[in-house]
Chains A and B, each alone.
Chain A
């Protein structure tokens, strides 16, 4: 049997581009507006949790550029984002309803209230390695239909250890499905640091083994994230999957229930330098515009709070009504019994 050479041909080089891309000023401002909404929501939501409005919340401090920059590159007429539980920057950039999204963190409904086909993102995923393989199947459908749509699958360095991610890489590459795997390598999986999670430290480095091109970017530079994701999506539509690894840092706790001082030091956090919101503020360099954008973000998040303090009432019937499209007699009987025993008929 002939032994093939060690390295297969190098996948296509996609980033950085040969001619540098200049992000238009108004695009940068649009990105910054969504980042400010994500940041303001984080600050407020931690407060709401302390006030007892929210049971728990996983903030995305530090990941605003990675989330907003990537999601803003989606074409909402034909693409779909597959998200996990720490992706509210994606929700902001897609202009999906943040109150619907917070329905999941409010413990009102598993995964939130958005209709995925309209909002162009799936419900938030708790088994974090699942986004990639489902995005792959969805993307394969787009290829069959010739819709030109592509899937953007979000997950992190922690999820990359799950077998589903590797199965997704392989399936997508074998079947040339138009999917971009967007890894937010934020250095932490709850309390487990990158060096204990990812052998070699990079998920993008693994892409070559699946014969996929990969892109490593500064995940704190929103313009770079946006442009690189556009390049990757365009490539995926034509040729098949791409891995983007956005290097960033989870500057907050894993969730409001977490105590990062048990596994990392304040010194480490202080050494990080300016965060992505500071950086886009410097890039825009327009204080009065920034003040207006900040006020707008605060207004938007105040509306979310308003929606959350008058939470949507979820009737217990819905627990029974959405299990199947065609309800079984057993569920119907249990529902009837529930109604009778709780006086709700």
Chain B
């Protein structure tokens, strides 16, 4: 495999890119360096995907490797399973989170189990890209947060980047991992820019401290990280010091990283867009209870979507945790 597409030293190591551009660049670099990689899904070729994340890849790598598939998500995932069985490392896309549902048979009954069923002789090395979460006023089934559904399935790993640097490096890392990785892209953050340091990925395992603090920990991921950091900055004005943990890996959860932060602050608020019941907030709350019983100053707070179908765009702001709701959660924890 060639390490890099550009001559050493010819470009600055960091570049300002949007998340959409960073993901595009990651796939370009993967397709160029790994002949066993393929990108496919609905409208990912000529159009470059509805979010243009795969823009230009078909022109560069050909329609045999960057494929506009028929509109059938179970077919897309079944095809990916077959390709992985043949030793390929596919990067399929489902166009929107809610369209992963028709693929659940292939995902749960097949992709998640084939390594197990074949006693490790047919690994399912693949990255399923899922434009995820709400925040773009999209119609029904275009704004779902399905991370706990996926994380509950034995055999799948789940990751969600929160900025362009993470998006680039986590996609490349996920592609190199020998297990199926569900890659949940925060679609409302596709256009936010940030520096991508190509040569210095940093530690790609586990969680990240997105904002340092002492009094309380907010644990979140995806599009909610930026909101949590905003909350931390607002709270700092009132001399409340909030630490924000970007969980990144939702399966496996970075237990040590989450526990270390809450052991320091003594208070935790978990924020996610997904519905509350049986969401990852409950899993994280239970983890912290087990590990820090008697050492926390307050029960773990949850600020989440409600137990309702993700509403249409007009009601989206009522459903997705906003700055005010997160601040209320912080306040409940601090005043406990």
Contacts and interface: CB of A to CB of B under 8 A. Distances in A.
A133 interface: yes
Contact of A138 (B86, B110, B120, B178): B86
A130 interface: yes
A162 B238 CA distance: 59
A284 interface: no
Interface string B68-94: 011010110011111111111010000
A127 B110 contact: yes
Interface in A307-345: 318, 321-326, 328-330
Contacts, number: 136
Contact of B64 (A115, A122, A127, A144): A144
Nearest to B124: A325
Contact of B82 (A111, A141, A326, A329): A141
A167 B84 CA distance: 18
B83 A324 contact: no
A133 B252 contact: no
B214 to A, nearest CB: 27
Interface stretch (B4-12, B19-27, B111-119): B111-119
A136 B119 contact: no
Contact of A325 (B74, B80, B178): B178
Q: How large is the interface on A (under 10, 10 to 19, 20 to 34, 35 or more residues)?
A: 35 or more
B253 interface: yes
A136 to B, nearest CB: 6
B145 interface: no
A167 B78 contact: yes
Q: How large is the interface on B (under 10, 10 to 19, 20 to 34, 35 or more residues)?
A: 35 or more
Contact of A133 (B78, B122, B154): B78
A48 interface: no
A117 B123 CA distance: 12
Contact of B106 (A116, A133, A139, A171): A133
Contact of A168 (B38, B78, B80): B78
Nearest to A174: B70
Given A117-B121, A137-B80, A324-B178, 5 more contacts: A111-B118, A127-B105, A127-B109, A322-B119, A328-B251
24 contacts: A80-B85, A115-B121, A116-B122, A122-B85, A127-B109, A133-B79, A133-B81, A134-B110, A137-B83, A138-B86, A140-B79, A141-B88, A144-B38, A144-B88, A151-B82, A164-B75, A164-B106, A167-B74, A167-B75, A170-B72, A324-B115, A329-B255, A330-B252, A330-B253
Interface of A: 80, 109-111, 113, 115-117, 122-123, 126-127, 130, 133-142, 144-145, 151, 163-164, 167-168, 170-171, 174-175, 318, 321-326, 328-330
